[in-house]
Amino acid sequence: ALVDDFCRRAAALDADAAIGVVPWDRVRTAFPESRRTVWRFRGEAWCGSNLFALLSERGRAAPRFWQSVEADRKRPWRIARRIGLRPLLGYLLRQSDLDASLEALSKVMGCRLAKITVEEPRAAVDVDSVADRDLAEGLLRDERRASPPG
């Protein structure tokens, strides 16, 4: 249901690519002991969800751009050169919200980016560590207990 809802909402957007984001306060409330990557913007904080929609040919080029940014994560000067100093400073100084940052990235990438707010905090759980695996397994166990077989 979560993925279907994301896909329906993405298809209705006027965008080339969409990312699913979960409000950090929902994730923190649901999983207070869990360590998550948090993107902090002006007046808001978000977690990623590993939900992406590539909605056009331009959108399908977005992952290549983002891979190049990820490859330079230990060399911030290269990221600044690729993204531009103004958008990067806007994020670092929390002068921009997520929508403004996506708009700036859209210009750099040559495609329209949009966010889809996902309210389900479990969407922010990925498995990058043993603790994450334990959390995910616990969530799956709880879900099986709550849903009778058949």
pLDDT by position in tens, the chain (length 150): 899 999 999 999 999 999 999 999 999 999 998 889 899 999 999 999 999 999 999 999 999 988 888 888 788 788 888 888 888 888 888 899 999 999 999 999 999 999 999 999 999 998 888 998 999 898 889 888 887 766
Sheet harboring 113-117: ordered strands across? 39-41, 44-54, 17-23, 113-117
Write down the pLDDT at residue 85: 83
pLDDT of residue 53: 98
Q: pTM value?
A: 0.85
Give the residue among 31, 50, 46, 48 at the shortest CA–CA distance from 94: 46
What six digits make up the tokens of 138?
């616990």
CATH for 2-146, among 3.40.50.12780, 3.90.1150.10, 3.90.550.10, 3.40.50.300?
Answer: 3.90.550.10
pLDDT at 105: 92
pLDDT score, position 147: 77
pLDDT for res 150: 60
Strands 17-23 and 44-54: antiparallel
Q: What is the pLDDT of residue 86?
A: 85
What is the token pair recorded at 10? 């993405």
Residue type present at position 19: I
